[in-house]
Every structure is written in structure tokens, then in C-alpha cells.
Chain A
Amino acid sequence: MFILYFGTVAMAIRPEQRSPRPPPAARSAFSTPGVHERHSPVLRIIPLQTPPGLRVSGEIDRTTRKPWEAALEGLVVVGRDMHLELSDLMFIDVRGTWLLTEAAHSLPSGKRVVLHHPPHCLRSVLALIGSFPSPIEVET
């Protein structure tokens, strides 16, 4: 389950229906991750007013992609420089980073996305898939 805060409204969103777990017998041949508590990705997005932007924490992968995409689209509509505070973003997959580049390109010309403290996986993928010149600035 992930939680998406939008404006003053806090929404708790459960991802699409879970598929049934494999029966225990089928899993016993395989070791399980060290921590036996289930790890479901959590994404928390808090809007920031001045400057306009988002504080994003947690993990972005295909499980939590939709609220990430929606939050970016919401900021693109505002059409101003977009500041993202990412020091508590633990993981973002390749598609998640691409969505960020797409949002940056969709801003009015001259406007940019400023990333504050992005994790390594975001910076490295941005360098591999991004375009130059890029409307994205990275501040570590």
C-alpha cells in the first residue's frame, strides 16, 4: 500500500488487486530475503508551495508509478520551475526517471526541473537516458 498526499487531502491508495501468493510449498525450495517481513514499496509525495514542487520519499517502481506520474503532470500544468526534494527517495526505476525527463520537456520553454539531493540511481539513469541540453538541474 502506498500513501499519496495531495494538497490538504491525504489519500491512502492500495495498488491493484494482488495476485494470489504462490503456495508455501512452492516457495520453500528458495531462500527468502533476509528480512521476512514483506517489503511493499511505499511512495509519499508532499506538495511544496514556495518554490512550487514536491517532497518525494520512498520508492518509485511499477507498483507506485501512477501517483508519481500524476504528481508530475500536476506540476507541469502549473508551468513554473519545478523543485523536487528527493533526499528521502530510496529508489526510482528507469521508467520513473524517464517520466521526470518527460515532465521537464513538457514545461514551458525556459522553465526547468531542479532536483535536490537525488539518489544515485536517478542521477546515473538520467545521464544514460537524458538529452542534452536538458531542462533538468541537479543540486546535491
Chain B
Amino acid sequence: MDTASADLDPFVHPALFYRGDHEYLQATLPFIRGGLAAGEPVAVAVPERNLRLLWSRLGTAASEVRFIDMTQAGRNPGRIIPGILRAFADLHTDRRVRIVGEPIWPGRSATEYPACVQHEALINLAFPGREVTILCPYDVDGLEPEVVKDAEMTHPVLIDDSGLRLSAAYAPERVIQDYNRPLPDPLDAAAFRFGADDLAEVRDFVAGHASRAGLSGERLEDLRLIASELAANSLDYGGGGGVVRIWTEDGQVVTDVRDAGHIADPLVGRRPVDPRQRGSRGLLVTNLLSDLVRIHTGAGGTTIRVYFTI
């Protein structure tokens, strides 16, 4: 780690390929303890099982570490940069910050996975110049070999049982492009074509269908808000209108908004916005409130799809 920290860019983003608890702890414990010893704030955002493992092994030092259950706070990969990584790093801009971030675990669904890889690639675009180290553990026994290959493309530095090396395959922009794929069409969706005067109807349309599908309370209100924000984005940036669709899929309510726009900024919706700054926050709020966000954007238009677990 110290070798990597000496790189020109103060931002360090290694993948840790581990097999079993022993290798996991052998790499993460010195990383955490080293940070604490150096007076660096440390956060651990990993799945609950590994959270418990680290908690129990850290002893009294655990009280100095910020623990975050990644399966909850990071279930939407689009939430991890603004809601976890930047949220923690921005509290401590006067010194180096260390984070263990494990956004990909066995059991991530095929629908979630492309958003996970894009997130890992986008970390490299979100933190250059920052005094931040983000160590990303990958459970190579439980994950498919393709996942490990993707991790080699999204991390400039790799660590495994043979040590630390630069990744020859590192190519985050290519990964972002490769996983920008058309989203599969739903089998049976309700659809509503909206224009400039239809925002309230978009909200009614989505909330009505979501409510009949079983979404209720604050989650229903969150989805109503998101539908309105996505449709408003179409009015502002997507050619002045679009189509909103809604359906259910594997216990989730899924809504997407398609328009003629093209999103050129891959980090849109992932940067915290200064509270005093005027600017668009619709996609940021969408990322922070949804269980999953998938985006396909290109010359032919943009689809933003959000998933809410019922």
C-alpha cells in the first residue's frame, strides 16, 4: 500500500483479490490499523458478514472506524460515490482518508452487476487529486472469473496473495462504454407519453401503478418524486418530452423514462452538490433514494430505469 501511496496521483484505488477470511483479514486489518496509526480517518463499507468479521477482529480500534453495511447503503451502486465515499471523504479534506469499499459480492444480480462495474470504473474519474485510498476487496472464490477480469480493468493497482502490482488491463473509460448497454424491454409495461404540461400526470400515473403493485408509504412518495424529477429532466434536457413506463419484476416496481437526450457526463448524479450552489440535483436524489438505477445513453436517446423493492 505504501508503494502505491507514493504514486503521483494522491488517489489510490487498489483491488484486493482474496480467498477466504484469512486472506481478507491479512490485507484489510493492516490497511485499517495503518490508517488509524497514521491519524487517517477510516471507513469500512462492506457486506454485513465481512463487517462483523472486521468488527470482531479490530477489538477496541473498531470504535474509531466508521462501519457501513454495503448491502444496504450501497445496494444501488449509483449511491456509493455520493452517499458513502464522497460523504465520508469530504468530511476530512485536510488529510488522507482510507476506505475499504466492497461493492461487488456473490449474489449481486445480473441486473445490478453492470451498474456495479460502472461504479467501480467511475471511482477513478471521481477522485483524482484527492488524498483518498479506496481498497476494494473481491471474493474470488465466490465471484465469476469475468467479474475478476472486469476488476482488473477498473483498478489501476491489484493486490493478491502474490503481492501488489499495477494492472496491465486498467481501462476504466472502456468499461464505462462497454457496460452502457441497451436495457432489456419489459414484457408488460404501462406507458405514458408526456410533454411539458404533464408532470403532475406523470406523478399520478407512476404512483397509481406503484401503489397497485404494493408499494406504499414513504417509498411510494420517494418513487413519485423520482418519476417527477426524471420527467422534468426530459423536459429540460431530453428534447422536451419522453415516455415513462412502469411494471413489476422479481418483487420490484420498475419505472423508466426514455427521452431524446444524451448524457455526456458519466458522473452525473454522483457528485454531491454544495448546498449553496444552484444546479440540477434530480439525478443525485434519484441515485440516493432508489434501490437500483440503470442508465443507457447514446446518440439515439437516454433511458433511466429505477428499481424499488416492494
Q: Interface on A for B, CB 8 Å cutoff?
A: 15, 18-19, 21-22, 26-27, 29-35, 38-41, 59, 61-63, 91, 93-95, 98, 101-102, 105, 119-121, 124-125, 128-131
Asked if B196 is at the interface of the complex by the 8 Å CB criterion, the answer is yes
| Residues of A with C-beta under 8 A to B190 | 31
Within 8 Å by CB of A34, from B199, B208, B225, B228, lies: B208
Q: Is the CB of B224 within 8 A of A124?
A: no
Contact of B221 among A35, A98, A119, A128 (CB under 8 A): A119
Q: Mark B189-209, 1 if CB is under 8 A from A, else 0.
A: 011110111011101110010
**Per a CB cutoff under 8 Å, which of A63, A125, A129 touches B225?**
A125
Q: B49 contacts the other chain (Cβ, under 8 Å)?
A: no
Mostly, the A contact residues are loop
Inter-chain CA distance A120–B225, complex, in Å, is 10
Residue of A nearest to B205 (CB): A33
Q: Interface of B with A (CB < 8 Å)? A: 190-193, 195-197, 199-201, 203-205, 208, 218, 221-222, 224-225, 228-229, 232, 235-236, 240, 243, 273, 275-276, 278, 281-282, 284-285, 288-289
Complex contact A41–B199 (CB within 8 A) = yes
Beyond A31-B192, A124-B225, 5 additional pairs, beta carbon < 8 A = A27-B193, A33-B192, A41-B199, A93-B229, A125-B225
- Would you call A18 and B192 a contact (CB within 8 A)? no
CA distance A36 to B42 in the complex (A): 55
Closest A residue to B232 by CB, please name it.
A62
A105 to B222, CA, bound (A): 26
Q: List 12 A-B contacts (CB under 8 A).
A: A22-B195, A32-B192, A33-B205, A41-B199, A59-B200, A63-B197, A63-B199, A93-B228, A94-B229, A120-B218, A129-B275, A129-B285
Residue pair B275, A93 in contact (C-beta under 8 Å): no
* Residue contact B200 to A93, C-beta cutoff 8 Å: no
For A129, give its contact among B208, B243, B273 (CB under 8 Å): B273
Q: Is the interface of B mostly helix, strand, loop or mixed?
A: helix
Which among A21, A27, A93, A101 has the highest number of chain B CB atoms within 10 Å? A93
Structural contact, A61 and B199, CB atoms closer than 8 A: yes
A93 touches B276 (CB 8 A): no
A139 → B minimal CB distance (Å): 18
What is the CB-to-nearest-CB distance from A109 to chain B, in angstroms, rounded to a whole number? 15
**B83 nearest in chain A by CB position:** A128
Q: Which of B218, B275, B289 contacts A101 (CB 8 A)?
A: B275
A94–B285 touching, CB < 8 Å:
yes
Contact of B289 among A30, A33, A38, A124 (CB under 8 A): A124
Are B200's CB and A40's CB within 8 A? yes
CB distance from A67 to the nearest CB of B (A): 16
| Chain A residue at minimal CB-CB distance from B212 | A34
Q: Which of B201, B225, B236, B273 has the most CB of A within 10 A?
A: B225
Chain A neighbourhood of B208, CB < 8 A: 33-34
Task: List B contacts of A101 (CB < 8 A).
Answer: 275
Could you tell me the distance between the alpha carbons of A38 and B197 in the complex, rounded to whole angstroms?
10
- Residue of A30, A40, A105 touching B193 (CB-CB under 8 A): A30
The CA of A94 and the CA of B199, in the complex, are separated in Å by 13
Q: Which residues of B contact A91 (CB under 8 A)?
A: 200, 203, 224-225, 228
